[in-house]
Amino acid sequence: MTRKQVTIPDLYQKKASQEKISVLTAYDYPTAALCEAAGVEVVLVGDSLGNVMLGQGSTVGVTMDDMLHHIKAVRRGLSSCFLIGDLPFMSYQVSREQALINSGRMMQEGGCDCVKLEGGAEMAETVKAIVDAGIPVCAHIGLTPQSVSKLGGYKVQGKDLAGAQKLIDDAKALQAAGADMIVFECIPSALAKIITENTSMVTIGIGAGPDCDGQVLVYHDIVGLSMRKTPKMAKQYVDLFAVIQEAMQNYVSEVKGGTFPQKAHEFAMAEDVVGQLKF
């Protein structure tokens, strides 16, 4: 069955009717096709690409070219999912002009429906400029991996009064700037609930409890391909590493044992042609 294209008004409608929204990361064509087939509503090509696809230690090294390469592949695999492209580190912080140019590339070259950027009130003017250009923005506060050096590690944010109040003020500033969506990463559930209940933005949590309007996880974490211990906020639904490893081991042993390929995998040639061949 073909689904209708998911739009920003659909996401607001889901928030209003308290229908939870499923968001998953994808970085390539087959994973995008799987998201469609599974009924995922929003696909994020996250800069977590650096960690889970490129084997980098953080998201800091991911470039616009990396992002666009993967976003284009994901776009080809999607028909109805809403597609968010993550603006990588230093692709929007330098100037408003740079943020507009790179957001435009995400939409025009990558075929995104929305761009995501990390940061709170300090990013509000940038968000406003992008929104004023007609590009929907998903903000991202709490644990913002592009600032991992400044945060001093991958730590839960907003646990004390000052930290929590700052995140509330950030959310207010981002809403006023025109962001339609906001990701909360690793913040206390009670804080995510308060913001979700008081903001018009569609809130998407990762490590932010059950009361957000939707949830996002990294694809490689849910299928057991992330090459890391499953983080506390994620859930592994299948161990694809073990499944794929077994398939590969079977292939290796069949090649070595001569049981692959079989007749069914071969291409035949007429005997008389074979008889005329000279080498």
- Least Å distance between CB 218 and ligand KIV? 5
Catalytic annotation present for 185: yes
The residue among 46 and 120 lying less far from ligand KIV, judged by its C-beta, is 46
- Least Å distance between CB 217 and ligand KIV? 8
183 binds ligand KIV (CB under 6 A): yes
Interatomic CA distance for residues 186 and 189, integer angstroms: 9
DSSP element (H, E) containing 24: strand 21-25
Cis before 261? omega within 30: yes
Closest residue to ligand KIV using C-beta atoms: 46
- Least Å distance between CB 277 and ligand KIV? 55
- Least Å distance between CB 194 and ligand KIV? 20
86 binds ligand KIV (CB under 6 A): yes
DSSP state of 74: H
Amino acid found at 175: Q
Question: x/- binding map, residues 194-233, to ligand KIV, per CB under 6 A?
Answer: ------------x---------x-x---------------
Other C-beta atoms closer than 10 Å to the C-beta of 86 total 28
DSSP 114-153: EEEEEBSGGGHHHHHHHHHTT--EEEEEES-GGGHHHHTS
CA-derived radius of gyration, the chain: 22
The residue among 154 and 251 lying less far from ligand KIV, judged by its C-beta, is 154
For the chain, the maximum distance between any two Cα atoms, rounded to a whole number of angstroms, is: 86
Binder of ligand KIV out of 24, 25, 32, 202 (CB under 6 A): 25
Please, which of residues 44-73 interact with ligand KIV by CB under 6 A?
44, 46-48
The catalytically annotated residue of 36, 41, 118, 185 is 185
Intra-chain end-to-end CA distance of the chain, in Å: 55
Q: What residues line the site for ligand KIV (CB under 6 A)? A: 25, 44, 46-48, 86, 140, 183, 185, 206, 216, 218
Catalytic residues: 185
